Chain A
């Protein structure tokens, strides 16, 4: 379903048809819960080309570096200060205009790694160059409590990783609940550590399904409002969990493959369009259920791509990225951070102007009101 269809349904059934079903009792009758602070992390797998996402169209150097991939200023959405966004992001323009969406540019880290896997690990665990953390950055913030702290609807837990940390990897919500019925409750403990891990995971599934079942029973699936794409169904599940009234601080979904070494233009446009239209639907649903003030959507990706396009009309692994944040509480209509230089490149790549951990510090301190283990300055986006 695209945005237009959604609006059509919404307008045909103003408050009578869709609303009561979609709204949980919680949202209808109770005032907004200021304690509910939700972050939805959207991983752009493969390294999103920041330069063709948030475009410095005033900079002549951009068009020199991108003779075929450069996007003419008449074909992009102008934001401010000579920066524009890719036309495929049009569904998000309204949030920018209303001040509910911002960009953070020049995000990266020192001694960068151009390997997908290592750089992804660095972004997801906030580790230093030679450190390896077992726990994702979100898990590091939420330790020692007894709630479900995060749910990943995508292949990997990523920022939510960490053994027995009450962060769940879920394929489908109904499947998760249904399959939990196959697990047997046990207090059995074994000296066999592999067996113990299996038993503990089973108990975690049983317990979490217990926490979720009753709430989910009261809220129906919202999949009908979302596109039939993997990202659409992942966001539909997130929306349903949020609508159920269960207070889970972090969610993870993903979209890919942004590793556009070859013939980038069409593929990249399609990916950004999928991102934008799915996030638009998600935002509309959040507004309808009265949770938009409680949610911040943040994208991330392991790196940006080289400034210079390659000979296959694509771009190779680069460094700094630009990411969007949106939500009812976001201080939007802003581009945070210094625009990276297109003349001082590192091996053809845009160098970062701020550390990506600043985003995590900001979410920790200003949103979740938790001390940040990362000593990087916060950004004013919330």
Chain B
């Protein structure tokens, strides 16, 4: 049987988890691939850090007009809530026993994007994040149907202003377009007519921002017959979703995104994509089945695909802190968690605030002339003198051993001396360009 070498176990652990966690790599080393993968894809956990107490937001104007709160106080409350929520998720990623689940939460956050800065009701973003966690490796059909009714998504993509086209009440094409382009089929697999038809089918799907839930406004729904991807009739929003799930392009599009997440940033190998998509559809869209196909593929294990992806800011920050016992230095007026969310922001991945509906572009886009310096500076901070004592407890390894543990490829810079302290060794390896890769 296929037994995992140290390097195999390391690759599997960093690509499906968060960080070069020594004890997990060692636990998997020597076991069979099948056993480890089967365990991994069965991961399920709703565990999070304790949920922060959030202001019960209704619409902004409601709070300001009727809640007796001034515009300035409301702005401050909202800012605090947003910060608390970001710290909560980052804390969950740092402390979870199921890093693959949080990784998938991030994957779905970047697939079914919503921005806290547009939604402006932190509780709704929290609810969406919990949905992603609950169905992280669950069923994609269920997930898609839930997302289509998710208040945060609906506000982000303007479903709350969605009428049947009388007067200024226009059918909203924003959600319809992203549903086809980003969530399911992918660009080029539908016409503008399909977008308009889908928009009509979803008229009346709306959200009550005060009750924080999905509502169907019957009187605003357009009941006329439409044609969508070759189907003609009085189609409802759920019919549209059903049709989209019948199309082979949906599974192919999701498979391509898995390739980008788990294999590399190059154009995917299409025969592999078709094989994965087949397994995905064949399993009635079980995400764990797709994951299993990915982790059992040749493309995942081939050595030429190791160390070929730039770590995302979250992978770099959370991964480093999960892998190494580090004391993050904190300026007097700040807190450790505030500082970590600031790092995410400065490296270009502000949690819950993706730049646009297509999400963070990822890969090489993470690195520019500002972020490369900011990344290195942060890592210097992590191996600050504060961590002298904590870093004492890392595994006793030769410099070569430390390098094969912490770096995904051969180091570019010369290795530190054996006589150096743990802190000096780790610091030197973390500054190597190879440490930016996974």
Contact = CB atoms under 8 A, between A and B. Distances in A.
Most central of B357, B376, B437 by chain A CB within 10 Å: B376
Interface stretch (A79-87, A171-179, A237-245, A328-336): A171-179
Contacts of A194: 265, 308-310, 363-364, 437
Contact of B61 (A115, A116, A312): A312
B372 A205 contact: yes
A355 interface: no
A201 B376 contact: no
B307 A192 contact: yes
Given A117-B356, A182-B431, A184-B413, A198 B370 contact: no
Given A115-B174, A175-B373, A198 B358 contact: no
Interface in B387-438: 409, 412-413, 431, 433-434, 436-437
Contacts of B370: 168-171, 176
B409 A195 contact: yes
Most buried by A among B170, B358, B372: B372
Contacts of A266: 71
Contact of A198 (B266, B356, B372, B377): B372
Contacts of A202: 372, 433
A99 interface: no
Nearest to B376: A182
A197 B380 CA distance: 21
B131 interface: no
B22 interface: no
B373 A199 contact: no
Contacts of A193: 266, 308, 364
B170 A347 contact: yes
B369 A116 contact: no
Q: Which of A116, A202, A312 has the most CB of B within 10 A?
A: A202
Interface string A182-206: 1110101000111101110110110
Interface in B134-180: 161, 168, 170, 174
B157 to A, nearest CB: 10
A353 interface: no
Contacts of A312: 61
B308 A170 contact: no
A221 interface: no
B377 A179 contact: yes
A157 B370 CA distance: 11
A316 B433 CA distance: 45
A175 B431 CA distance: 17
B412 A176 contact: no
B364 A171 contact: no
Contact of B412 (A163, A188, A201): A188
Interface string B204-245: 000000000000000000000000000000000000000000
A201 B168 contact: no
Q: Which of A193, A198, A257 has the most CB of B within 10 A?
A: A198
Contacts of B60: 262
Contact of B357 (A117, A169, A179, A192): A117
A205 B369 contact: yes
A115 B156 CA distance: 12
A299 interface: no
A293 interface: no
A308 B371 CA distance: 42
A208 interface: yes
A148 to B, nearest CB: 10
Given A201-B367, A347-B170, A195 B346 contact: no
B374 interface: yes
A263 B168 contact: no
Given A184-B413, A199-B412, A176 B307 contact: no
B409 A205 contact: no
B377 A182 contact: yes
Contact of B434 (A169, A195, A204, A208): A195
A197 B308 CA distance: 11
A347 B413 CA distance: 59
B138 to A, nearest CB: 29
B363 A117 contact: no
Interface string B329-371: 0000000000000000010000000011110000110011111
A35 to B, nearest CB: 25
A193 B409 CA distance: 13
A115 B356 CA distance: 10
A122 B391 CA distance: 49
A112 B376 CA distance: 42
A183 B412 CA distance: 12
B346 A171 contact: yes
Nearest to A188: B412
Contact of A308 (B117, B168, B409): B168
A180 B433 CA distance: 13
A179 B436 contact: no
A350 to B, nearest CB: 15
A273 to B, nearest CB: 16
Interface string A89-117: 00000000000000000000000000111
Contacts of B437: 192, 194-195, 198
A257 B75 CA distance: 14
A70 interface: no
A179 to B, nearest CB: 3
A337 interface: no
Given A179-B373, A262-B61, A198 B367 contact: yes
A201 B369 contact: yes
Contacts of A290: none
A125 to B, nearest CB: 14
Contact of B168 (A192, A204, A348): A348
B374 A179 contact: yes
Given A186-B412, A199-B433, A116 B356 contact: yes
Contacts of B368: 157, 169, 201
A325 B309 CA distance: 42
A192 B373 contact: no
Contacts of B117: 257
30 contacts: A116-B356, A117-B356, A169-B370, A170-B370, A175-B377, A179-B373, A179-B374, A182-B377, A182-B380, A183-B372, A183-B376, A186-B412, A188-B412, A192-B307, A192-B409, A192-B437, A193-B308, A193-B364, A195-B412, A195-B433, A198-B310, A198-B372, A198-B433, A198-B437, A202-B372, A205-B369, A208-B369, A263-B61, A308-B168, A312-B61
Interface of A: 115-117, 156-157, 163, 168-171, 175-176, 179-180, 182-184, 186, 188, 192-195, 197-199, 201-202, 204-205, 208, 257, 262-263, 266, 308, 312, 316, 347-348
Given A171-B374, A193-B364, A263-B71, 6 more contacts: A168-B370, A170-B370, A171-B346, A179-B376, A193-B266, A195-B307
A-B pairs with the 5 shortest C-beta distances? A179-B373, A117-B356, A169-B370, A182-B376, A169-B368
